[in-house]
Structures are given as structure tokens and as C-alpha cells.
Amino acid sequence: MTQRAAPPLRRSYRAPGLELAGRRFEWGSRTYVMAIVNVTPDSFSGDGLADDVAAAVALARQFEAAGADILDIGGESTRPGAEPLSPGDEAARVLPALRAIRAATSLPISIDTCHAAVAQAALDAGACVVNDIMGLRSDPDMADVVARSGAALVAMHNQRGRQFHDVAGDIAAGFEASLALAAHAGVDPARIVLDPGFGFGWAPEHNLEMVRRLPELWRFDLPLLIGPSRKSTLGLVLDLPVEERVEGTAAAVALAIAGGADIVRVHDVREMVRVCRVADAIARDNWRPEPG
């Protein structure tokens, strides 16, 4: 007798889903794609659009047509060694593009910033998600901005400048610190997404280990976002430049989905939407052929 394969593991979540800009995100049903719109002149991935608002709008429309679920707009490069921006300069970069994209697309918009003033201005201009690479641990006003606005929050654990002990343990400690700050400010826990911070202060082997150990982070009962797209670790594994890392990104994305990722933050949207569909069909068992 043929034995049926064991069903895939099912994660549990503190909240059944999230409403963003009129769209419903049902955690565990499929993987959602966050598309990167960099309005920076110095992005590590070579896709920075600087102050070209028309190009940012065209890219956002292209991503929407390719199947993106969220647009993540950022104005400050997060590559190691990048010059930090003042909140005023960062806002001057992102707000014109954000307003134009808001008028041109229907997708939810995330603002990628660790400055509370920039987050507030972006939320006022139509964003509904704050993507904070410092997990509320940099600007003391950020948690209050998120709580007052009712925005969704992506809280990353950033390992830069922190002593290393253990990949999953250090991420968990960072998550606990961010969640404590969120709770103190009154942020709705059902509107929080956690990001382990692929590429942010880790050795290459630790980034790879992070993907293998994602299931250890299920205990937080919150959706997980991961962003391995085009990162230098993939370049080291493949010995390839940033523009030739799409296959490496695809492998990392597929394995992260198998490990329980709910959102993947990517540059190559069309390709990664396809990767997600196949990975979901396998890992989440959510696909059936059309009858007939």
C-alpha cells in the first residue's frame, strides 16, 4: 500500500490576518511579495532611482502588474558604510515618490525608515506600513508613531554592533526587545511582522544558518518577513556580481518559504512571484489543478 506523505507543518499565528489598504493578508495561506522601490543614489543592488519620480512610478506600476502585494519605498541606503541621512533629507527623497506612487497604484505602501519623523510624514502621505530596520530600537519616538497611527509594523532584528552568541538566539532576543517596546507604546501585536535581518551584521555563514533555522522563530506566533534579495552572501556563494544573483535569490526565497516565511522582500518581482507560487504549492499544499 502506498503511504501518503506527511502533511506540511502548519504554523500558528497570534492574528488570523491583516488589512492593508483594503487588501486582506491571510497568514499561512500563501507567501506575499514585498517589492523594493529604492529612491536612493547609492543602493547596493544598483537599482537606486535617486530623485527620478517618474521612474519610481513606472517601476511601481511594473511591480504591481507582475504580482507584487506591497511596495516598500526607501530613501536611505542600508548598505554597510553608507552615509547616514538626516530625517529631513530622507523625507525630501521619499515623499515625492511616495505621493506619486500612491496616486498611480492601488498596492499598500510600506515606508522603509528608522526615523519617526519620516515614518509619520510617509503615513500622512499614504503609507500604511512602517518597515523599521532597527526594530523600534533606534528612534525612541518610533513606537509611539506606529501606535498612534494604527500602521502595521515590520520590526527587524539588526545585528550590527551587537555581540554574537547564536543566530536564532540573538534574533529571538532582538525580537523580544522590539516587542517589549511595541507593547509599552500600545502597538497592536496583531499588526506586527518580524524580520530576522538577513544581511544586517551577520557573517555570510550566519545568514545561511538564519534561513535554515527560521522554524525556531515560529514561537513568536507572528508572521515572518525575510529579505535575502541580491545580498552579498549570495554573491559569495555563487561568486557572481549583484546583477547575476536572481537564481541565488530564488533558492533562498524558496527555502525561506519552506521554513515558514510569510513575506519576501525582493527586487526581481516577476521571477520571485513565480518562485513563491511553486514553493507555496509544495510547502503549503495550497494548489490544485484546474478541473478538466
Burial class, 216, CB count within 10 angstroms (exposed 0-12 / middle 13-18 / buried 19+)? middle
Instruction: Scan for cell 538566539, then name that residue.
Output: 169
1 has a pLDDT exceeding 50: no
Q: Rg for the chain (alpha carbons), in Å?
A: 18
Annotation says 102 is catalytic:
no
pLDDT digits (tens, 9 = 90+) for 156-177: 999 999 999 999 999 999 999 9
Distance CA 166, CA 121 (A): 37
For the chain, give every domain's residue range: 19-283
- Judge whether 195 and 225 are in contact, CB under 8 Å: yes
> Coil, strand or helix: which one is 154?
strand
pLDDT digits (tens, 9 = 90+) for 202-221: 999 999 999 999 999 999 99
pLDDT at 27: 95
Distance CA 175, CA 195 (A): 8
Annotation says 4 is catalytic:
no
| Range with the poorest average pLDDT among 59-68, 83-92, 97-106 | 83-92
Around 225, how many Cα atoms within 13 Å sit in the side-chain half-sphere?
Answer: 28
Q: Active-site residue among 102, 231, 245, 284?
A: 231
The single-letter DSSP state of residue 171 is H
Q: Active-site residue among 265, 270, 274, 284?
A: 265
In the CATH hierarchy, which fold is given to the domain comprising 19-283? Answer: TIM Barrel (3.20.20)
User: pTM of the prediction?
Assistant: 0.92
